[in-house]
Chain A
Amino acid sequence: MAPDPDTAVETRRTEPAVDLAPQAGGHRGAPRPSKAVVFETEALNVYYGAFKAVRDVSLRVHEHEITAFIGPSGCGKTTMLRCFNRMNDLIETARVEGTLSYHGVDLYDPGVNPVEVRRRVGMVFQKPNPFPKSIYENVAYGPKVARLAKGGTAMDEIVERSLRQAALWDEVKDRLKASAMGLSGGQQQRLCIARCLAVDPEVILMDEPCSALDPIATGRIEDLMDEIKQQYTIIIVTHNMQQAARVSDRTAFFTAEVNETSDTRTGILVEYDATETMFSNPGDERTENYVTGRFG
């Protein structure tokens, strides 16, 4: 199969922009063509001080799709992910070169306010990290700081909607005032997803959201992703290739190249294509070795 023309950055967008309605379930097969581009990176380099963590990444992320980043440890997947909502800004030495645009707007333009970016591009972390507060307060915090609701019934509605979307409502509706720390790991992670959904973001970044969870909890979160992708755009970093194959529409494979001189590792994007292509007929030998388990 030829590489999907839509993902290759060099391709000029000459084809008509047909926005097909997302089809519920059964997303196997070739990705639907020409969905709106949410993120576009071009020759993106990320540094931590003098150390180059990611080199020369160019890719496009499409609306209402799940894009998976796979690759061995230390290949810069998480670093890449944290560029999309400027979470890397929190690391003082981090620096980004190249362009990263969000709906055509340069995310690293000096005029861009990272706080506003993060309200639109939410994040779910590797380890469930609920606030040590009540379940209700966890979900209500985002809307509160975003001033979506002051409290009262409006806030109650947001909390209920978010918890329902995250498939957690039925389990916690009778103990919303209880501490979130009393939930199981899988429930905590769904609470973190609910917290992320509560501010009504456009994009959700997920950094190995299931790595601390058992297979049942993982299954629930994967189902959840499949449901919510009709409303959101999702980028997920995962170590689990089956997970990438199961849930994602497109997959980017990163690997690390060892620098001869400094013995450091820099992440590079090897291949980016429709998930089915990546797993059945990858264009690069390294991808094939990785997805078939011969490397990494």
Chain B
Amino acid sequence: MAVAPHALTREVVSARIQGRRADVGGTVFKYVLLSALLVTIAVLVILLYSQVDRGSEVLTGRLGDFITSKYSSLPTRSGIIQGINGTLTIAAFVIFIAVPLGVGAAVYLEEYAQKTRLTRFIDVNIRNLAGVPSVVYGILGLAIFARALRNVTGGASVMAAGITLAVLVLPIVIITSAEAIRAVPDSIREAGFGVGATRWEVTRSHVLPYALPGILTGTVLSVARALGEAAPLIVVGAKTGFFTGGDFGDLRDNFQALPSQIYQFSRLPESSWGGNTAAAIVVLLAIVLAVNSAAILLRNRFEKKR
């Protein structure tokens, strides 16, 4: 194509590169995205504020008493120590059962198993299991851990609840760990095999350390999920009224956990119990936040070492 000779003088170039074409679409899109973020944050802030506000009397007036007392029929004397004990114990069950099992299964699926139709079938089913409603796991827990295995668990105990929630989050641990392991570059595996390391040596020294931050993220998500579940606990048999016990370490005894306790409080008259409900919600949020922060700190430490 013949182009008319056009002198690239300073003026011509300047006019061309300073042309301002309004990018309307881009600007609109930017603000749409921003408002999506703001709406999300606003909802969270409002929720948090309303709970702190509702629970302020309890949180400021008798917080120490509230978190160290057992449940009482008197709202002004009732506390949530049984719920905290149950929730922490359940978290421990999740960490000590679901994490080793889940990471082990993920390592097997990704590093050892041949990619056959069977493993793909298993993989798809694990993904489906992660989407099963938690109340279904509650029924499973009731049938197996609270009833069939009551000689081991002691019936509707914190042990039965902990194992149920460990099973509930197991698919999430497997999926997130498998994804973290899959994200390890093959070049690292090849480097290990290339100097004569066995599969186990490569997995232990290179794949797992590299995947650790991702595995930790998945673990945190699953523990946080387990901490917040109420439905399966109620089905398995968390105590919904006054009960003795619920001390820390009583694995085979009656139990209560924070989410189900919040549910229980919320069904009592709002005028006298509303403050307790809100305060329990704030305490549960604080525990979840603490667990998440610890794990994020841990993850950052491992990521730095890469």
Contact = CB atoms under 8 A, between A and B. Distances in A.
A binds B: yes
Interface stretch (B192-200, B227-235, B273-281): B192-200
Interface string A129-148: 11110000000011001100
Interface stretch (A116-124, A237-245, A274-282): A116-124
B198 to A, nearest CB: 5
Interface string B272-306: 00000000000000000000000000000000001
A195 interface: yes
A119 B196 contact: yes
Contacts of A131: 188, 191-192, 206
A70 B208 CA distance: 37
Interface string B186-222: 0111111111111001000110001000000000000
Interface string A159-202: 00000000000000000000001000000000010011011000
B196 A129 contact: no
Contacts of B196: 115-116, 118-120, 142, 145-146, 199
B198 A141 contact: no
Contacts of B6: none
Given A90-B190, A125-B190, A125-B191, A132 B306 contact: yes
A214 interface: no
Contacts of B195: 118-119, 122, 141-142, 145-146, 195-196, 198-199
Contacts of B201: 145
B115 interface: yes
A127 interface: yes
Contact of B193 (A118, A127, A196, A199): A118
B255 to A, nearest CB: 44
Contact of A196 (B187, B194, B205): B194
Contacts of B198: 115, 145
A263 interface: no
A90 B193 contact: yes
Contacts of A132: 188, 210, 306
Nearest to B196: A119
A62 B210 CA distance: 39
B50 interface: no
Interface in B107-150: 114-115
A90 B112 CA distance: 11
Nearest to A127: B187
B190 A129 contact: yes
Nearest to B116: A92
Given A92-B114, A131-B206, A141-B205, A192 B191 contact: yes
A129 B193 contact: no
Interface string A189-231: 0001001101100000000000000000000000000000000
A145 B197 contact: yes
Interface string B230-249: 00000000000000000000
A152 B196 CA distance: 21
A122 B187 CA distance: 15
Given A142-B195, A145-B197, A92 B115 contact: yes
Contact of A129 (B115, B188, B197, B205): B188
A87 interface: yes
Contacts of A85: 194
Nearest to A119: B196
A141 B210 contact: no
A235 B137 CA distance: 58
B234 to A, nearest CB: 46
A130 B191 contact: yes
A120 B195 CA distance: 9
Nearest to B191: A129
A142 B206 CA distance: 13
A87 B187 CA distance: 12
B114 A90 contact: no
A140 B24 CA distance: 58
A115 B188 CA distance: 16
B194 A87 contact: yes
Q: Which of A130, A142, A196 gathers the greatest number of chain B CB atoms within 10 Å?
A: A142
Nearest to A116: B196
Contacts of B114: 92
A195 B187 CA distance: 14
A123 B210 contact: no
Contacts of A115: 193, 196-198
A117 to B, nearest CB: 8
Nearest to B114: A92
Contacts of B194: 85, 87, 118, 122-123, 125, 196
Contacts of B193: 87, 90, 115, 118
Given A87-B190, A132-B306, A145-B196, 20 more contacts: A87-B193, A87-B194, A90-B189, A90-B193, A115-B193, A115-B198, A116-B196, A118-B193, A122-B194, A123-B190, A125-B190, A125-B191, A129-B187, A131-B188, A131-B191, A131-B192, A132-B188, A141-B195, A145-B195, A196-B195
Interface of B: 114-115, 185, 187-198, 201, 205-206, 210, 306
23 contacts: A87-B193, A92-B115, A115-B193, A115-B196, A115-B198, A116-B196, A118-B194, A118-B195, A118-B196, A119-B195, A119-B196, A120-B196, A122-B194, A125-B190, A129-B185, A129-B188, A131-B192, A145-B197, A145-B198, A195-B191, A195-B195, A198-B195, A199-B196
Closest 3 pairs (CB-CB, A-B): A119-B196, A142-B195, A129-B187
